[in-house]
Structure 1
Amino acid sequence: MFSFLNIFRITALLEGVSYILLLFIATPIKYLLNEPQYVKLLGMPHGILFMAYIVMAIMLKKELNWNTKQFTEIVLASIIPFGTFYIDKKYLKPLRNG
């Protein structure tokens, strides 16, 4: 039921959501309201999800025959807000349906 691709898709989704929360909610609260606890709360889970995303992308590169350009785009998407959602739509979701 849960293939490695589906686990990667879930990780990408969670990584993207945690990044958006960290960037657009926790960080402004930290600097505008001087309350750093939200960054501390979201920072560690985001870091773990980020590392998991990168490791899984490396593991899937050969299996899914991603060329260097595709792989670079997939990895760089993890540092761009909303990037993992784009990758899911462009590369991962079609694999599930096909």
Structure 2
Amino acid sequence: MEQIKIITPEELEKKIENEEELNLVDVREDEEVAQGMIPGAKHIRMGEIPERLNEFDKDKEYIFICRSSRRSENVCYYMQEQGYKVRNMIGGMLEWKGEIVL
């Protein structure tokens, strides 16, 4: 199985500060995202990803986020198998020191 590319919370924060065009997807549950999400992230619960593949574009890279990076890693493996370009934010929201929106 091909290794999943990763991004650290610090690297992601720099990209956001540099106003890079990013595709962030938060795969946590509703009650978790209610406590705050990274600005610009799209919320798609992990369990909904398979039925919402039509919302993803194979030409773009997606950065997946969850609480600790375990669920997002699983999503990354799944998405990569479907032919999508993905990165996992390691450490998840537990390690995120940047801005959050409620």
TM bucket by the smaller chain? Answer: under 0.3
Asked which structure has the greater CA Rg, the reply is: 1
Q: Tell me which protein shows more strand as a share of its residues.
A: 2
Relative to its length, the structure with more helix (as a share) is: 1
TM-score, structure 1 as length reference: 0.27
